[in-house]
Amino acid sequence: MPTSQPPFETVFIAGGTHGNERTGVALVRHWQQNPAEVTREGFATRLFLANPEAVRANRRFIDCDLNRSFLTVDRAAPGEAPYEVRRAREIAAWMRSPKPGKRSFAIDLHTSTACMGITLITSSDPTNLAVAAAVQDTLPEAKIYCFADGERINSCLRAAAQGGLGIEIGPIPQGVVRHDTLDTTGTVVRQVLDAVQAFNQNALPAPDGRRPIYRHARHVAYPETTPGAPPAFIHRELQGRDYAPLKYGQPIFQDLGGRTWTFDEPETRYPVFINEAAYYREDIAFSLTQRVSLAAMVGF
Ligand SMILES: [Zn+2]
């Protein structure tokens, strides 16, 4: 892909941004002892645990979600800020130094309790999308989940670098390390490193623009039930159907009393993060995406 953009000088690999997603923690610790596996000519690779206190506690976070804290870095007052806001400030300062003006790329390792398979989460930046597409060329089962510019994407860890991808692998329970998830995540990271290296060498192929991109549309909350009543939950026909088309009238929720709630939007959507454990506290049952072609998004 011919580009006028300068190369990435540093690639940061973050594990433990959410302290109970142990795959990234294990891999970062492994690579810290075996750096050759993630070393490529042309850029420096830097490994770190993003939220060490949450990793120690085996919790998603201590005070607030680190991966939603990076927008506050430049505007929060110093001092009594929550732990993750202080940590975001440290990480951002580190990722931006010591070479102001140089470009860095961030790979942030996550896992999901939903059936996300291999998901590459990206902004709508053309370079990030081209890197994701190159990874997909070698791992066709990978999906590209794209967020438009906005609060959600600008507050995540990757936003502290000029380029980046989130890697989301699932399903795996929180707090669990498992051989297959480690293997898959390691493979994806190596492919991302190869793609960044190709980008730096001006050798990244122009992506096939016909490939589908899942563009974030909105979150869907659980339906309200009467106070004290047992909650509604994901319908049996939706459970585990991440990235499958969801059409008007299809069931999405049920309750123990036999009631069913159906999807009431006229346009077909593609749900993701279905029944994600981490999102219960935000009352998010799943997220809806729109399936569009890469060409329709960025004109490749
Ligand atoms: Zn996560």
Q: Give the pLDDT confidence of 196-232 residue by residue, as tens digits.
A: 999 999 999 899 999 999 999 999 999 988 888 888 9
Q: Which amino acid is at 2?
A: P
pTM check: above 0.85: yes
Task: Say how many Å lie between the CA of residue 21 and the centre of ligand 1.
Answer: 6
pLDDT of residue 79: 64
Provide the pLDDT for residue 72. Answer: 75
Both tokens of 178, joined, read 């498992």
Distance in Å, CA 17 to ligand 1 centroid: 7
CA distance 92 to 89: 5
Give the pLDDT score at 149.
Answer: 84
* 98 band by pLDDT with thresholds 50, 70 and 90: low
Is pLDDT of 76 > 60? no
- Give the C-alpha separation, 219 to 253, whole Å: 14
In whole angstroms, what is the distance from residue 140 CA to residue 117 CA? 11
| Per-residue pLDDT at 124 exceeds 90 | yes
Concatenated DSSP letters of 160-179 = GSSEEEEEEEES--TT---H
- Cα-to-centroid distance, 245 and ligand 1 (Å): 24
**Residue 237 near residue 251 (C-beta atoms within 8 A):** yes
Q: Distance, CA 165 to ligand 1 centroid (Å)?
A: 13
**pLDDT attached to residue 287:** 98
pLDDT at 78: 62
Asked if residue 299 has pLDDT above 90, the reply is no
Q: How far is the CA of 80 from the centre of ligand 1 (A)?
A: 25
Each residue's pLDDT tens digit, 50-62: 999 999 999 999 9
Q: Give the per-residue pLDDT at 154.
A: 86
pLDDT of 80 = 78
pLDDT tens digits for 239-275? Answer: 999 999 999 999 999 999 999 999 999 999 999 999 9
Q: Which residue did the predictor score with more confidence, 73 or 83? A: 83
